Amino acid sequence: MIKQAFRKLWDTKVDAIGLSVFRMCYAAVLFCEVLQLFKFRNLIYDAEPFNYVGDFDVRYLFGFWFVIIAMLFLGLFTRVTTIVNYLFAVVVFSSAINFEYHVFYAYVGINFLMMFMPVSRVFSLDSLIEKVKYTNIGRPYKVDRKVLEINYLAPVFLGIALVYFDSVFRKVDSPMWMDGLGMWLPSSLPHVVWTDTSLVLNQEWLVKFLGYLVVFFETIFIFLFWFKRFRVPFLLLGIFFHLGILIAYPIPWFALTAVVLYFLMVPNEFWLWISNKFKSKKQSFDFYYDAECPLCNKVVVIIKHFDVLNKVRCITVQGYAANEPALKGIDEETLLINIHGVDQKGKVSVGYDAYIELTKHLGYTYPIALLLAVPGISHLGKRVYRYVAGNRLTERCTSENCLMPEFAQPVSETDDFLVKGWNQLNLTKQFWKWLLVFALAVQLLFISVCPIIDRQINQTVVGKALNQANGIVHAPVKKYLGLTPHPVFMYNIHFDGYNHIFKIVCKTNQKRVPLLDDNGMVTHSYANGSMWVNHTFRTAAPVISAEKYEKAVSRYLRYFAHENGLHQSNYTIYVKEIETTDHWEHDFLHRQMEKPWKPAGTCAMTPTDVQFTWTPEMKAVFEAEKQRK
């Protein structure tokens, strides 16, 4: 049964609509992530923020990348676009150090997979180009919408299942997770969250249940998501968890990336039902064209492609015009030479005006129609129409006198080349099989050296060999495939001894530097996404160092000074001493928020220099922290 189910994954074909939904949603999330990096590029990438850019100005790189992501969203030149998009991901995400966070690896992996996924069969300009290219009179061309089901599940396996599976081996070694506090403790520390969820956190039974449920869910996911009966419950539970992350923690693009991956588990019937639900049952505009005109037939292909709401009926003059009362009195030759359109009220539009009315009736393009009707633009549009249709005004365009190139049908994915059995479909199946096996083997290698296993075998021959192999494999697969261990929210790494958080107020303009607010929470903050990880765990940290903190926080202060137009600025640094705990406590988050801020030091900043001065009490804290290293 299991073997048969797995074989079916490589043989079953399904509609490609879900892949196109994934492509567009993923491109939108990726665009937001890159836009955030671009906005804070001086803080993240400058050698000295706003003073010295460094060897390379990333503005041009990001500017080009925005175009590539937009092309990915539209499904334009998708094969080349996905390759370039992957290269950008390797350059930007895989090279990140101080501002790296775990979703970067997901982007690298997804961008790699998209080079091989048929993501542009539906809702894409590529499919339109293909239809226009191969459509001829009497020979309409339809893009093959059927794709292998494994195209849906492979990204879920690499982007979710392997991440969960690796994470489980670290969670079961964590007392925090094994006590059911894996969700509660991070959400109860003000510097970690941007939303007060105490209403949930104060329900001990609920948060412990959710904590254990996360571990259970991540354990079984990799084994059961392959089976259709589990996909809907799993995707609902997975989206629920990641929407919770979106609500609680300032890492929105991580949460939404996971949600978009879960979209691949949505049954195709749902997307098709949604698509049909938006289609009108009755068209509101008739577009008349010459059935014998090659150019007109290709225009109709374009109209039908963009008529996603089914508002336009494209019909031939030869077959239907005689039955249209609104066209009575117009001879057939005139109808054949010029485009005509008729709306539900019987209003006739001709030529360029017919295209304006068509654009209005498509619905979502109504603003474009208004723009096309603006004087000046409409004048230019009519000139273009007359130029394109110029010959038709004197002589009809037919297959005999219109020089429209005809192309042979594209090679089918089942057509063999060179060797029998070597075709695109079979090679695709083999590629996915070997890629998934390789990815699983690599992740198992990472798991074999995680603490819970490494403690048992690290002194054995096998343990030493696995550690050596891990040292060789980890760097390249992390950089190029996004495969890496996932010790996310581990008590001993992220929270143990994290007892001091900082708030900074600019004395020059009396504004709070948007890092932590008065409650110590991450609201209205620079610390979002990759900058949240940098500020929370690398600038401030469980073990704080004066030198490390000064160097890292100076970048944020320079960004703040530039944003507020401050040539010279002075700051007061406040510290709040908070607690971490290994057991559940009622209203723990509020108690941390209510702890007082105490002066910890000052900072004086000029364009070329920055000086920190710490109070004796804060110096003593730094000295004590050195002993914990």
Please tell me the chain's helix, strand, coil percentages from 3-state DSSP, rounded to the nearest 5.
60, 10, 35
Q: Which of 333-342, 503-512, 547-556, 586-595 has the lowest mean pLDDT?
A: 333-342
- Residue of 128, 127, 77, 133 whose CA lies nearest to 407: 133
Query: What's the whole-number mean pLDDT along residues 118-123?
Result: 94
**What residues contact 55, with CB distance under 8 A and at least 6 apart?**
none
For 513-543, the pLDDT digits (tens) are 999 999 999 999 999 999 999 999 999 988 8
Residues of the chain with CATH 3.40.30: 281-362+386-410
**CA–CA distances in Å: residue 416 to residues 134, 153, 440, 539:** 21, 26, 30, 57
Predicted pLDDT of residue 304: 93
**In this model, does residue 6 exceed pLDDT 90?**
no
Predicted pLDDT of residue 330: 87
**What residues contact 244, with CB distance under 8 A and at least 6 apart?**
183
Predicted pLDDT of residue 464: 87
Structure tokens at 355: 């295209």
For 335-392, the pLDDT digits (tens) are 888 889 999 999 999 989 999 999 999 999 999 999 999 999 999 988 888 877 665 5
- Contact status, residue 531 vs residue 254, Cβ threshold 8 Å: no
Predicted pLDDT of residue 301: 92
Query: What's the whole-number mean pLDDT along residues 293-314?
Result: 90
Predicted pLDDT of residue 489: 82
For 187-216, the pLDDT digits (tens) are 999 999 999 999 999 999 999 999 999 999
Beta bridge partners of 287: 314, 341
Q: Which long-range contacts (CB under 8 A, 24 or more apart) does 429-435 make?
A: 429/10, 429/148, 429/150, 431/116, 432/10, 432/148, 432/150, 432/151, 432/154, 433/10, 435/154
- Give CA–CA dist 423/181, Å, rounded: 52
Sign of CA dihedral 420, 425, 431, 436: negative
Q: Which of 454-463, 570-579, 588-597, 612-621 has the lowest mean pLDDT?
A: 454-463
**In this model, does residue 155 exceed pLDDT 80?**
yes
Predicted pLDDT of residue 97: 87
Segment holding 534, helix H or strand E: helix 530-534
**CA–CA distances in Å: residue 65 to residues 59, 72, 257, 480, 488:** 10, 10, 18, 18, 29
DSSP output for 474-529: HHHHHHHH-------S-IIIIITT--EEEEEEETTTTEE-SSS-TTS---S-S--T
Q: What percent of the chain has pLDDT over 90?
A: 69
Annotate 525-545 with b (16+ C-beta within 10 A) or e (fewer): bbbbbbbbbbbbbebbbbebe
- Give CA–CA dist 504/556, Å, rounded: 10
Mean pLDDT of the chain: 90
Q: What CATH number does the domain located at 281-362+386-410 have?
A: 3.40.30
The band of 417, judged by pLDDT with boundaries at 50, 70 and 90, is low
For 99-116, the pLDDT digits (tens) are 999 999 999 999 999 999
- Looking only at the bridges linking them, the beta strands covering 13-15 and 146-148 are antiparallel
**In this model, does residue 394 exceed pLDDT 50?**
no
Q: Which of 136-140, 232-236, 343-347 has the lowest mean pLDDT?
A: 136-140
The band of 3, judged by pLDDT with boundaries at 50, 70 and 90, is low
**CA–CA distances in Å: residue 283 to residues 10, 278, 311, 339:** 40, 13, 4, 18
Q: Which of 15-19, 112-116, 177-181, 425-429 has the lowest mean pLDDT?
A: 425-429
- Contact status, residue 33 vs residue 105, Cβ threshold 8 Å: no
**CA–CA distances in Å: residue 382 to residues 373, 376, 397:** 10, 10, 19
- Give CA–CA dist 618/622, Å, rounded: 6
Q: Which of 9-18, 403-412, 495-504 has the lowest mean pLDDT?
A: 403-412
Structure tokens at 300: 């109709």
Structure tokens at 506: 């600019």
- Give CA–CA dist 521/77, Å, rounded: 44
- Give CA–CA dist 418/406, Å, rounded: 26
